[in-house]
């Protein structure tokens, strides 16, 4: 009997913003969110500004405005390796962190967790789905050393 290969995780991060980023934290958050999936993953994590994320939001979701995070699952069902892309707006994270009076690093880490959970298929369209997503985000962030109050 062939030995089952252990799942692997490869994350590449691109920074297309002038903002200083907590790179290790973001990579750790995505890793923790995907760790228990049982799948091998290749993930691209891009941190951009509002202008670029607004363009992507319009192109892929038909919404002509900035958003916090976009996630795209890129593999086909049955592929050996799951593939995905997470795009985060550093501008939105900075604005929201200021409004909520929390550290920028905590807000942008939330977006990384949220995006990774979407790659796993979690949704947030209904109140129940949002509650479930927030619970999962809280666990991922807590495991990453961030204590963030639930909203």
List the pLDDT tens digit at each of the 151 positions of the chain: 555 566 789 999 999 999 999 999 999 999 999 999 989 999 999 999 999 999 999 999 999 999 999 999 999 988 889 999 999 999 999 999 999 999 999 999 999 999 999 999 999 999 999 999 999 999 999 999 998 654 5
The structure tokens 């495991």 sit at: 143
Could you tell me where the beta strands, DSSP code E, fall in 51-112? 69-73, 81-89
Question: What domain range is 75 assigned to?
Answer: 9-143
Q: Give the CA-trace dihedral at 77, 43, 47, 112, to 10 degrees.
A: 80
What SS3 class is residue 105? helix
pTM: 0.93
Task: Please indicate, yes or no, if residue 56 is contained in any of the structural domains.
Answer: yes
Instruction: Find the CATH number of the domain harbouring 99.
Output: 3.40.390.30
| Strand bridging mode 9-15 / 40-48 | parallel
Radius of gyration over alpha carbons of the chain, in Å? 15
Task: Please indicate, yes or no, if residue 25 is contained in any of the structural domains.
Answer: yes
- 9: exposed, middle or buried (Cβ count in 10 Å: 0-12, 13-18, 19+): middle
């Amino acid at each position: 009997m062939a030995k089952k290969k252990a799942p692997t995780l490869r994350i590449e991060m691109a920074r297309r913003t002038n903002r200083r980023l907590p790179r290790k934290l973001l990579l750790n958050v995505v890793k923790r969110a995907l760790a228990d999936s049982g799948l091998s993953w290749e993930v691209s994590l891009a941190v951009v500004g509002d202008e670029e994320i607004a363009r992507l939001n319009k192109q892929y979701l038909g919404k002509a405005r900035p958003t916090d995070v976009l996630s795209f699952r890129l593999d086909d069902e049955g592929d050996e390796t799951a593939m995905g892309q997470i795009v985060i707006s550093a501008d939105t994270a900075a604005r929201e962190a200021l409004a909520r009076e929390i550290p920028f690093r905590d807000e942008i880490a939330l977006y990384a967790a949220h995006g990774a959970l979407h790659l796993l298929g979690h949704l947030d369209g209904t109140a129940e789905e949002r509650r479930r997503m927030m619970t999962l985000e809280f666990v991922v962030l807590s495991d990453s050393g961030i204590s963030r109050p639930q909203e």
